[in-house]
Structure 1
Amino acid sequence: MTFPGTRPIHGDRVVLYAGDTSFTAVGAIVVQGVLRDGRGFVELVLPDADPQQRRTLEKVTRLQYSLYRDGKLLYASPPLQMTNVRRAADDGALIVTGTP
């Protein structure tokens, strides 16, 4: 699958693969392409469910993920270089940013 573009893709489950670890997040999940300084990034917005998620993801340098809605695969990312992990100021959602 290609870069998701700037139009948000909404899913209800994502499986994240980081090295030899993987975990699943469920809830309102959004994937969106973002352009900054002429570079393309992919932002993955996860619900604020597990405080350990951020600490785990902050240690990751490479990441891949698969986004699903109603059991159907919507987007499978290429291997990404992790560029940022942060919490959204308004709702505390976890925002993961990566670049191919």
Structure 2
Amino acid sequence: MTSFPGQRPMHGDMVQLTTDTTSVTITGSITSQGILRDGRGFVELTLPDADPQQRRDLERTTSYQYELYRSSALLYSSPRLILSEARRTKDGSLVVTGSP
């Protein structure tokens, strides 16, 4: 298990995402990556296009935590992250950005 999703992307096939009010398991092509923006470190989680309600639900939360898996093996368990952005990409993927 990795202690921080550095700038090299980690790819998984399942994520367990927990927010202030809900917990959901998402499967498919998932990427977790550390990014630097304006001198601050963030974690960017890219999820497959699934339920359109997901983005709206995530935009309403203030914090979240996730566990990224590949072939049932835990790759990364994030600390509680403060949500800074939830958006869709041009290809429809959901990108969630947060910081500790």
TM-score (norm 2): 0.95
Stretches (4+) displaced over 2 A: none
CA distance in 1 between counterparts of 2:16 and 2:26 reads 7
Give the total of aligned pairs.
99
Residue in 2 that maps onto 1:59: 60
- Residue of structure 2 in register with 1:69 after alignment: 70
Q: What is the aligned partner in structure 2 of residue 93 from structure 1?
A: 93
Residues 33-87 of structure 1: per-residue CA shift (max 9 Å, x gap): 0001110000000000111101110101010000000000000000000000000
Whole-angstrom distance in 2 between the partners of 1:71 and 1:40: 28
Instruction: Show structure 1 runs of 5+ residues with no match.
Output: none
Q: 1:31 and 1:66 mapped to 2: Cα distance?
A: 10
Task: Return the letter of the residue paired with 1:66.
Answer: E
Identity of aligned residues (%): 61
1:50 partner SS: coil
Letter in 2 for 1:85: A
Please show how residues 1-100 of structure 1 align to structure 2 within 5 Å.
Answer: 2-89=3-90, 91-100=91-100
Instruction: Give me the whole-angstrom Cα distance separating, in 2, the residues matched to 1:54 and 1:40.
Output: 22
Q: Output the aligned Cα RMSD.
A: 0.9
Shift, 1:3, TM fit: 2.4
Q: Is the 8 A contact 2:4 2:76 kept in 1?
A: no
TM-score, normalization by structure 1: 0.95
Secondary structure, counterpart of 1:57 in structure 2: helix
Unaligned runs of 5+ in 2: none
